[in-house]
Structure 1
Amino acid sequence: MSGAGKPLLGVEEEFHVVDLETRQAAPEVDSLLPELDGAEFARELQRSLVETNTPVCETLDELGAHLRRLRRRLESVAEPHGLGIVAAGTVPLVDLTGDDISAGARYEKMQHEYQMLVREQHICGAQVHVDVPDRDTAVQVVRRVAPYLHILLALSASSPYWRGNDTGYASYRSMVWSRWPTSGPPATVETAAEYDAMVQELIASGTISDPGMLYFDIRPSAHVPTVELRVCDACTEVDDVVLIAGLFRALVCKAGEDLAKGLPLPTSRQELLRSANWRAARSGLEGDLVDLVGPSLVSPPLLVGQLVDMLRPQLEELGDWEQVLALSQATLERGSAAARQRRMFGRRGRLTDVVDALVANTQGRLLSIEPPVEVPLARELLADYRPGTFDEAVSNGGTVLPQYGWMFRALERLGPRGMVAAESALETEQRARGVTFGPEDGTAEARLFPLDLVPRIVSAEDWHVLEAGLAQRVRALELFVRDVYGERRILHDGVVPAAVVDAAPGRNREGEIVPGDVVRIAVAGIDLVRDAPDRWLVLEDNLRVPSGIGYSIMSRRLVRSVMSDLEPPTGVVGLEDVPGRLRAALLSATDSGSPGADEVALLSSGPSDSAFFEHRLLADRMGVPVVTPRDLQVTEDGVYLVTTGGKRRLSALYRRMDEKDLMNARGADMRPLGRALASAVSRGRVALLNALGNGVADDKLVYAYVPDMIAYYLDETPLLDIVPTYPCVDDERRAEVLDRLDELVLKPVDGYGGSGIVIGPHAERSELTEVEKLIRAEPAMWVAQDMVSLSTHPTFSGNRLEPRAVDLRAFVFQSQYGGRAHLDVVPAALSRVAPSGSLIVNSSRGGGAKDTWILR
């Protein structure tokens, strides 16, 4: 292959031949080849496999057209024989006991030498060839491209099933392929002469019989100046092949440019390259991948996005940029082919359905299979399950609701033992990543953040209602905070009693010095509950330092990493862009035209903070540092981050520490920091988000007046209801509350994290007597609410599922551009789960969390 312009490329695809009646791999390729053009079609080691070879191509469009043409030709010849063609790393139904090796001396010698390895080779890959100037360049390119191959493997992963079983891998073909003695990362040679000498040594050792048996993940051609990508599964979607070919050609071009610049070869260890491939084979696009810089585990969308961005100069030069970008986004959106196979299996639990779907998808057709009406679902796990008034997944009659049917079929296959194993693996992953919440109860050691294995689904219709209602609520709360620290119009007009605001525990005079035109509520966490299928209620507003965004992101990654059978349905909104959206909201508070406007930091009290894990996670994802007060110094011209390397001025601080602690803290120069920082905020030297004094709007007494705020400031009807609330400071309401103590939920106005709450219907008489005394002594410090029947959701409790009360903490980011506010209701919602027998979901009271799948 050679060309004067852009490097030419070509693709070899391997396909399984299956019997359309039994859906098993069929050793019938010899009946097909006489009807196919020998230049473009060839037999493979197994007689149930066939290979296609595209002509050399200059453009990705040309390549895609040839791939589709060859697939159509194969199908047109196979179908009259009762055979189908499958593009996947493995085919789910295959018999390894037969002797189905293709004829020929080379294949017969391989069978004699390698025995079971040959019988296992019912696997298919996609190989991409790209031009290079010469074989010395080819060897150098191979070494320079090798660190990125695991990303291409993850994009291609299409082989979860092997011999009728789910292997737990997205690419089990990689596991079978890795058994060859010459598979894996390329050899550490630097010239063609060294490469050829290595080949001769391997032949002399009897390990291989010819150069074609070097099965490295990437290799130079033995005869022509090309490099060949060999790590990938056969791809069900032609678009995935085109994407991988486009990325690989750009990687080859970049490697050639780096060689011309004299840049050194990468130093990644062979063991790490092999481990990165293993992780990609295990996870596909549904679990974390290895970033070799670090190394560290990162999400596939982040790693793929970084690769595409890195290759942008080469892709633009090749004319492939827009196409590869669109293909990469589409692939990440639909997930790996392995995940799609598992979803198809989950519909009815039939591998024959998976094969039928693969046959259709190989030709670009969709196959829809409706599940039968009656399917037994998770009987062991749901033994003795007693739904509450409203369970979101299980009906009062004990049947699983339709939207959860496919999920519970997957859970049934796991059974209690599989769930216990997954729970143990989840805890291991949490410990490895430090996913903790604490310290708690004065202990020195943080505890693992409780995560449940069963995700919660929020429909697109529900989310649409919530988005509008949450945005409306935060708009009104923002206007309220600005008003009560400014003109106090809502108090003068008697809409909210002045005493309610002036006595609010979260009122802080530092809130008065915040410039009037800045966003005060950059991040709001609004807690919601559900007491009926069509009704959501706002339970609480959190406007100071709401936590949970990072735990939502991490719960998605962790649960998916240990529950390979439990693939989300198509259309689950991804979370990978949430940190970027948070960073954009923070930057909107800075002067974009000034030097250092993008210097943002997350301000934390440090490891002693119960949510310090989240602080580190969000800062890392946003690409900003975590700082404590001891890292800061305030001068006349601004706030500086002090490090051993010097000082740099910060434009904004994302506040994640209590404002009282901040006001009492000392800075890097050991001087009191709080007042100086507040002064810098008032003079516009730094933005502090969330603003000081926001707590005036989020206590449980002010909550009762939010519907009035919405009407007053926005002239709108509230889109979301609140729980009926009775301020005890009001004489009439207090009398009603005292008369109904055993029917209501009693809450101290300044109680956070569920502290001090008394649930009347569940309380002892002594508790009610004590709370009555407290209300009479300080009525302004108490509110009461009607008892709400929180919805329940199936939660794993050691050996079965039980209904647990849940709420939903949704997050709203607020930005300001050109004097106009922009509200972003992000999909990183955290479903919080109460302990068994409790209605309090707060983490500080033993509550946990679930991954929340918001549908588009």
Structure 2
Amino acid sequence: MRTVGVEEELLLVDPETGDPRAMSAAVLARAALDAGEEEVFEKELHEQMLEFATHPQEEMERLHAEIVRCRKEAARHAGELGATVAALATSPLPVSPAVGVNSRYQWMADQYGVVVQEQLVMGCHVHVAVDSDEEGVAVADRVRPWLPVLAALSANSPFWQGKDTGYSSYRSRVWQRWPSAGPTELFGSAERYHRRVADMVSTGTILDEKMIYFDIRLSERYPTVEFRVADVCLHSDTAVLLACLARGLVESAAREWREGVEPAGHSVSLLRLAAWRAARSGLTGELLHPATMRRMPAETVVRALVDHVEEALVEAGDLERVRAALAELLRRGNGARVQRELLERTGSLRDVVTGCVRHTQG
């Protein structure tokens, strides 16, 4: 059974007003004071962000429990300092992001200017174990057309600086401003992948391999492929749904590779259009079908994803969990829909944030 791990970035906010709070350093210091507590929280680019990473898990029930526990611990540590956390991929309220104080972040601020100031965006990264870099690159080549579907499921960032953007995932549009972000062409082998990464670092435009922001990449720290397209999910069960589907995609792609099935040859231009469509529509409109790259209802495309990975889901024992979680997601809506419904009911973006704080903690 392939293991799966999840990284989530959370927004630190004032529990009363919903305003983002630049206090990640204080929250991290407070978490470190807990005797014997394992360090699961990490600093991120901006002081209004707090990140955690789960352990690799085979059982999705355990993964879900760990995500819930980490969210609650993050809220507890922040609460002791007068703040709380929200699983929001962008801040609905206006904010002036504060870049973290260390040499890496300062280099990025100097190099990229306003792009860094705008990157107060929170994502969900899913790591799935692979046997080798060769298998990992084969997987990355074969899952490319399905990544926008994962992005649509997770979409949770309709608001930006106090306004409705018209997008379900505006975070993904902001993220594309990094020079190394987005879909990739086919690599064909681990050697070509590593050569491309080395060439990119050698330009001096990015600092190091950690700044390879491909939609899916080989992790530089773990024996995994890392899916990087998703917004942080408002609800923890959606994050687990993404983890199940990501593992299913990896297993299905690895089998295709071993059986000699060639990856779809869609161009980067088409993949960028599919990603834009997913960011705009989320689950409320149409998506580009990964096989045809033509518009179809979002629910039809999501069902096609489940059909594509069904065999892998059955063998992992995840099929019924995926069906139940997907039915709930389509009924309730993704984070973007929930946020817009909160605004329609309350008329207040502050109430949107405080409502999402409650959703974050279940």
SS in 1 for 2:80: helix
Q: 2:166 aligns with which of 158, 165, 168?
A: 168
Q: Deviations over 1:599-648 (max 9, x none)?
A: xxxxxxxxxxxxxxxxxxxxxxxxxxxxxxxxxxxxxxxxxxxxxxxxxx
What are the superposed Cα offsets for residues 230-262 of structure 1, whole Å, 9 maximum, x if unpaired? 000000100100000000000000000000001
Secondary structure of 1:227's aligned partner? strand
Offset at residue 187 of structure 1 (A): 3.9
What CA distance in whole angstroms lies between the structure 2 residues aligned with 1:30 and 1:295? 44
Q: Secondary structure at the match of 1:294?
A: coil
Contact 1:127 1:230 in 2 (8 A): yes
Counterparts in 2 of 1:130-279, with a 5 A limit? Answer: 130-279=128-277
In the aligned structure 1, how far is the partner of 2:104 from the partner of 2:80? 31
Distance 1:74 1:259 in 2: 40
Alignment correspondent of 1:70: 70
Aligned counterparts of 1:188 and 1:39: Cα–Cα separation in 2? 37
Q: Kindly indicate whether residue 84 of structure 2 is the aligned counterpart of residue 84 of structure 1.
A: yes
Structure 2: distance between partners of 1:206 and 1:61: 43
Cα deviation code 1:309-354 (max 9, x no counterpart)? 2211110111111111111111111112101111110113110110
Does the 8 Å CA contact 1:135/1:224 hold for their aligned counterparts?
no
Provide the C-alpha distance between the structure 2 equivalents of 1:137 and 1:340, rounded to a whole number of angstroms.
38
Distance of 1:135 and 1:308 partners within structure 2: 26
Task: Please tell me whether the aligned partners of residues 133 and 218 of structure 2 are also in contact (alpha carbons under 8 angstroms).
Answer: yes
- Matched with 1:325 is 323
* Larger helix share, 1 or 2: 2
Q: CA deviation at 1:188?
A: 2.6
Q: Which protein, 1 or 2, shows the higher relative CO under an 8 Å CA cutoff with sep ≥ 6? A: 2
1:15 matched to 2:13? The reply is: no
Classify the secondary structure of the residue corresponding to 1:127: strand
Q: Residue 13 of structure 2: SS of its match in structure 1?
A: strand
Distance between the aligned counterparts of 1:38 and 1:101, measured in 2? 26
Match of 2:34 in 1: none
Matched position secondary structure for 1:81: coil
Relative to structure 1, the CA distance from residue 187 to residue 108 in structure 2 (aligned partners, 3 Å threshold; closer, same or farther) is farther
CA distance in 2, matches of 1:334, 1:348: 18
What CA distance in whole angstroms lies between the structure 2 residues aligned with 1:11 and 1:298?
A: 30
1:306 aligns with 2:301: no
Cα offset, 1:170, TM superposition: 0.4
Aligned position for 2:61: 61
Aligned counterparts of 1:56 and 1:324: Cα–Cα separation in 2: 19
- Which of these residues, 108, 111, 117, is aligned with residue 110 of structure 1? 108
Answer yes or no: is the 8 Å Cα contact 1:128–1:245 preserved in 2: yes
CA contact (8 A) 1:128 1:229 kept: yes
Is the CA contact (8 Å cut-off) linking 1:10 and 1:54 kept in structure 2? yes
AA of the residue aligned to 1:205: T
Specify the alignment match of 1:101 in structure 2.
99
Identify the residue that residue 50 of structure 2 maps to in structure 1.
50
Cα distance, 1:38 vs structure 2:
6.0
Counterparts of 2:346 and 2:102, CA distance in 1: 42
Question: Cα distance, 1:206 vs. partner?
Answer: 1.7
Structure 1 gap ranges (5+): 1-5, 365-856
Give the conservation status (yes or no) of the 8 Å contact 1:142–1:186: no
Greater percentage in strand: 1
Quick check: 2:274–2:293 contact (8 Å CA) kept in 1?
A: no
In structure 2, stretches of 5+ residues that fail to align are 32-36
Query: 2:293 corresponds to which letter in structure 1?
Result: P
Q: Give runs of aligned pairs for residues 472-551 of structure 1, distance below 5 A.
A: none
Q: How far has the Cα of 1:50 moved from its partner?
A: 0.5
TM-score (structure 1 length as normaliser): 0.41
Structure 1 Cα separation of the partners of residues 44 and 143 of structure 2: 27
Deviation track 1:260-303 (CA, whole Å, cap 9, x = no partner) reads: 00111211111111111100000111111111333321112111
Looking at structure 2, the residues matched to 287 and 102 of structure 1 have their Cα atoms a distance apart, in angstroms, of 38
What whole-Å deviation, never above 9, does each CA across 1:370-407 have from its counterpart, x for those lacking one?
Answer: xxxxxxxxxxxxxxxxxxxxxxxxxxxxxxxxxxxxxx
Q: Deviations over 1:563-603 (max 9, x none)?
A: xxxxxxxxxxxxxxxxxxxxxxxxxxxxxxxxxxxxxxxxx
Superposition pairs for residues 648-667 of structure 1, below 5 Å? none
Structure 1 residue 20, shift from structure 2 partner: 2.0
Measured in 1, the distance between the counterparts of 2:324 and 2:360 equals 20
Moved more, 350-359 or 78-87: 78-87
Instruction: String of CA shifts for 1:207-248, please: whole Å, max 9, x gaps.
Output: 211011011111111243210000000001001000000000
Q: How far has the Cα of 1:307 moved from its partner? A: 1.2
Q: Distance in 2 between matches of 1:17 and 1:313?
A: 40
SS in structure 2 opposite 1:252? Answer: helix
Q: How far 1:18 sits from its partner (Å)? A: 0.7
Given candidates 117, 120, 123, the residue that maps to 1:122 is: 120
> Partners of 1:155 and 1:292 in 2: how far apart?
15
Letter of the structure 2 residue corresponding to residue 9 of structure 1: V
Asked if the contact 2:45–2:100 (Cα under 8 Å) also holds between the matched residues in 1, the reply is: yes
Q: Are the aligned partners of 1:186 and 1:219 in contact in 2 as well (CA < 8 Å)?
A: no
* SS of corresponding position for 2:269: helix
Matches within 5 A, 1:270-669: 270-364=268-362
- 1:515 match: none
Indicate the residue corresponding to 1:27 in structure 2: 22
Deviation at 1:31, TM superposition (A): 1.2
Give the conservation status (yes or no) of the 8 Å contact 1:21–1:82: no
Query: What corresponds to 1:653 in structure 2?
Result: none
- State the one-letter code of the partner of 2:89: G
The CA deviation string for residues 775-830 of structure 1, in whole angstroms up to 9 with x for no partner, is: xxxxxxxxxxxxxxxxxxxxxxxxxxxxxxxxxxxxxxxxxxxxxxxxxxxxxxxx
SS at match of 1:286: coil
Partners of 2:11 and 2:331 in 1: CA distance: 26
CA contact (8 A) 1:289 1:297 kept: yes
In 2, are the aligned partners of 1:146 and 1:185 still within 8 Å (CA)?
yes
